[in-house]
Amino acid sequence: MSLDFKIAISGGIAVVSFKGKILTDSHLDKLNTEIGTQTLEKTTNWIFDFDELTHINSSGINFIIRSLTRSRINCGDLVLCSVKGNVKTLFEIGKINEIFSIYSSTSDAINHFKQ
């Protein structure tokens, strides 16, 4: 299984729900285009929900860091939620958890933007 995703936008916050694996840049082409379109439409706050993401490698980590940079350039932010299993372990080893705000649930991540 490769990568599937869904984007839900509400109140200026986009929640991207990931399912599957991020193992190559080609898995991210469609999502990268969609994020670019939404950024042009002024969506600047993003939540990446990794509840159903089972694997990620350097391509995926590079993508989320680029997405964070893109959102901050546009005066927004990107937070992560529901990071678990292999993905959580990799984030801890790579110290990714020190770069991003990570929440246990989507509702907690949404509250990040309401503060």
* CATH value at residue 85: 3.30.750.24
Q: Are 100 and 80 in contact (CB under 8 A)?
A: yes
- The residue type found at 9 is I
Total number of domains in the chain: 1
Structural domain boundaries, residue 109: 3-114
- Most confident range, picked from 4-13, 26-35, 81-90: 81-90
Stated pTM of the model = 0.93
Residue 114 reports pLDDT greater than 70: yes
* pLDDT tens digits along 14-55: 999 999 999 888 878 888 888 888 876 788 899 999 999 999
Sign of the dihedral through C-alpha 69, 30, 59, 100: positive
Q: What is the mean pLDDT of residues 76-83?
A: 96
Strand order from edge to edge, sheet including 77-81: 3-10, 13-22, 45-56, 77-81, 102-103
Average pLDDT, the chain: 91
